[in-house]
A and B are shown apart, each in its own frame.
Chain A
Amino acid sequence: MRKILTLTSALLLALPGGAQAQSSSTELIEGASRMDGRTVEFRGEAIGDLMPRGDHVWLNVSDGQNTLGVWIASDALPPLRHVGRYDARGDVLDFQGVFHRACPEHGGDMDLHAETATIVTPGASTTHDVDWIRLAVAALLLLASLGAWAGWKRRERRLLATNGADRS
């Protein structure tokens, strides 16, 4: 137990001097009333789109638990090489700024007005290889569906013919 306490204290002391502890999106959402208006640090992956609005930009940032909207001046945002999408893992950034539970400037949105942003881990393109076994299964299934379709239509024609014979 003593070892765990010592280790935890050492880790806490190793944090950069004067910096707030990083907040997770869950902590911010669950403790929104307490955190409202406070300067926080938030780390996450830039996902989706950069949406410029005048001299600012909206960026949505995911820490793996939730995605939080970040409002930042265009010139305070370092150039991003990747945003998270199907074909890419986005750049991971550290943001420092004021958290709003219900932002008066943005119609009551929960957001973070960031003053600084730093890329801590650059993103990268991701590849998704074709599974050849699945492709073979698909080909077999499509062939099977042709067989089933032919059987269905043949039976329908036979029933129609019997129907016609019954009537005559």
Chain B
Amino acid sequence: MIGRPRADDFRLVLSYTGKVTVGVGFLMVLPLATALCFAEWAVAVDFLVGLGTAWTIGCGLAWLGATRARPNWTHGMVTAGVSWLFVMAVAALPYWLSGHYLGHLDCMFDVMSGFTTTGLTLIQDLDHVSNGLNMWRHVLTFVGGQGIIVLALTFLVKDAAGGYKLYVGEAKDERLFPSVFHTAKVIWKISLVYLVAGTIALWGAGLAIGLDPVRAFLHGLWIYMAAWSTGGFAPMSQNILYYHSALYEVLTVVFFVVGSFNFALHHAVWTGNRKEVFRNIETASFAASLTALTVLACWGLMLLHVYPGAFALFRKGFYQLISGHTTTGYMTVYARQFALEWGDIALGALIVAMLLGGSACSTAGGFKGLRIGILFHAVVQETRRLLKPGSAVFVQRFHYLEDRTLGEQQVRSAALIVILYVLTFALTTLAGTLSGFPMTESAFEAASVTGNVGLSIGVTTAAMPDALKTTYILVMWAGRLEFMAVLATVGFLLSTVKRR
């Protein structure tokens, strides 16, 4: 396909989008069960409506799209792009029925924010939200971190060749095993083992800080889900500040840092290759940029005497910075404090951290450490080339799961994605400015949206213009899919129009 889409092309996209929608319907069983457990009957009915809608539409699309044709790379990309937008509308239904949103656009914003593990929210009166709805918010972000296509691959797609194309379409190209299904299952296994360990740890911390056992468990589970997936949602409106606990903050840092690492790195460590943590180009890149930006942010905060004493300075400065760098978006300050107190140096460090992001093939967003590492090595190689005689041959090596030689193709594709991110960031900043927000605030929020982070300076509220909400939805989507699936989807739609 490319050029003129035929009936089979549409059928393939419909069929896989339908399967992903059915998968989202299955996910609604979790909040439904939660609502039933806590006797939230009205909420349970809302999820039954959502579940029925997802299954009816999903099965209907799969029925309409049933075909003998096999997907190619473009189908995989277009399906990833289309299904993310489609399930956004379906998954927003329970939000809309809950009455906690001002409109369906706000509901779709929150679903996209959850699925892309961004963490910005337009929900109203979060502090009175039911357990069922809170479960849905956090399940969305947890599954979004792994990928909704990965979910469908695990349970609903049986075609191996087509499966890999879908998997790549969702911006995950790391194949831990020859079989893409095995890879998807290992991704889930890693996530679920950490889920159990993380929930137990945060449950204990919750009990220690005075939550009752049931609330401590629920909060532990939800906070873990959003930390591991670098999502940033929390069950209370104050986010992590609600707990007033250094212990809770330390645990969330551990979980979101671990969550921001590449699944391939997790797998290497799990299979005994612990040295990979220290040799991997992404961990090296993350450590270097985190150190430099923490120093810069703390220096900026110190110059303005924002925090009294080194402990408070580090606790606040480091937490927001590492939360931004891993693209988590957990906050222990109020959004407006960034704008009113933090100053340009610290905000600049945060904006850069949010854009750099976490690791490739992880739950994190942003440029990704792998690309930063590759571009850094390319700069070193070019500098060496300039300083040595013209006849000298340079081989630049880096370690990423194995020793690799830097190739031109790698540099080109890394540079292309980074350029697209920067361009999107610039245009999103412009959109914020055109909506009437100051440049720095627009840039901060744009970095957060482009990198799927979730830190907010106060721009993202239900009162912001619909055009800006729509822009942010599209940017979150494009950033999460790393543009390729989005470009393929746009190309597919344009070629459909051209045909007519």
Question: Would you give the shortest CB distance from B100 to chain A, in whole angstroms?
Answer: 10
- A145 CA / B53 CA spacing, docked (Å): 8
Question: Would you give the shortest CB distance from B426 to chain A, in whole angstroms?
Answer: 29
Q: Which one of A29, A50, A104, A151 lies within 8 Å of B63 (CB-CB)?
A: A151
Enumerate chain A residues within 8 angstroms of B308, measured Cβ to Cβ: 102, 104, 108
A66 near B: Cβ within 8 Å? yes
Cross-chain contact B316 with A108 (CB below 8 angstroms): yes
Enumerate chain A residues within 8 angstroms of B51, measured Cβ to Cβ: 138, 141-142
- A141 CA / B48 CA spacing, docked (Å): 9
Cross-chain contact A141 with B127 (CB below 8 angstroms): no
The 0/1 profile, CB within 8 Å of B marked 1, for residues 124-168 of chain A is 000011110011011111101100110110011001001100000
Question: 7 interchain pairs (CB within 8 A)?
Answer: A49-B210, A107-B316, A110-B334, A141-B56, A145-B56, A145-B58, A152-B59
Enumerate chain A residues within 8 angstroms of B238, measured Cβ to Cβ: 60, 67, 69
Enumerate chain B residues within 8 angstroms of A86, measured Cβ to Cβ: 40, 128-131
Cross-chain contact A108 with B45 (CB below 8 angstroms): no
Choose, from B141-149, B336-344, B415-423, the stretch at the interface.
B336-344
Enumerate chain A residues within 8 angstroms of B46, measured Cβ to Cβ: 134
Residues of B within 8 Å of A, CB-based: how many? 58
Question: Would you give the shortest CB distance from A131 to chain B, in whole angstroms?
Answer: 6
| Overall SS of chain A's interface | mixed
Beyond A30-B340, A128-B40, A138-B51, 8 extra complex contacts between A and B, CB < 8 Å: A66-B237, A67-B127, A108-B308, A108-B313, A110-B334, A135-B45, A138-B48, A155-B66
Cross-chain contact B43 with A149 (CB below 8 angstroms): no
Q: Which one of A66, A106, A140, A149 lies within 8 Å of B244 (CB-CB)?
A: A106
Residues of A within 8 Å of B, CB-based: how many? 56
A62 near B: Cβ within 8 Å? yes
On B, residues with C-beta under 8 Å from A are 18, 25, 40-43, 45-46, 48-49, 51-53, 55-56, 58-60, 62-63, 66-68, 97, 127-131, 209-212, 215, 236-238, 241-244, 246, 306-309, 311-313, 315-316, 332-334, 336-337, 340-341
Question: Would you give the shortest CB distance from A150 to chain B, in whole angstroms?
Answer: 9
Q: Which one of A48, A142, A145, A151 lies within 8 Å of B127 (CB-CB)?
A: A48
- A103 CA / B334 CA spacing, docked (Å): 14
- A14 CA / B418 CA spacing, docked (Å): 62
Choose, from A1-9, A16-24, A51-59, A113-121, the stretch at the interface.
A51-59
Closest to A26 in B: B336
Cross-chain contact A151 with B241 (CB below 8 angstroms): no
Given A138-B45, A141-B52, A149-B55: A62 and B316 interface contact (C-beta under 8 Å): no
The 9 residue pairs across chains A and B that have the minimum distance between CB atoms: A141-B52, A108-B312, A51-B210, A145-B55, A148-B59, A138-B48, A152-B63, A128-B42, A145-B56
A85 near B: Cβ within 8 Å? yes
Question: Would you give the shortest CB distance from A163 to chain B, in whole angstroms?
Answer: 6
- A7 CA / B385 CA spacing, docked (Å): 80
Q: Which one of A60, A89, A102, A131 lies within 8 Å of B306 (CB-CB)?
A: A102
Enumerate chain A residues within 8 angstroms of B212, measured Cβ to Cβ: 49
Cross-chain contact B332 with A137 (CB below 8 angstroms): no
Enumerate chain B residues within 8 angstroms of A104, measured Cβ to Cβ: 308-309, 312
A47 near B: Cβ within 8 Å? yes
Enumerate chain B residues within 8 angstroms of A159, measured Cβ to Cβ: 66-68
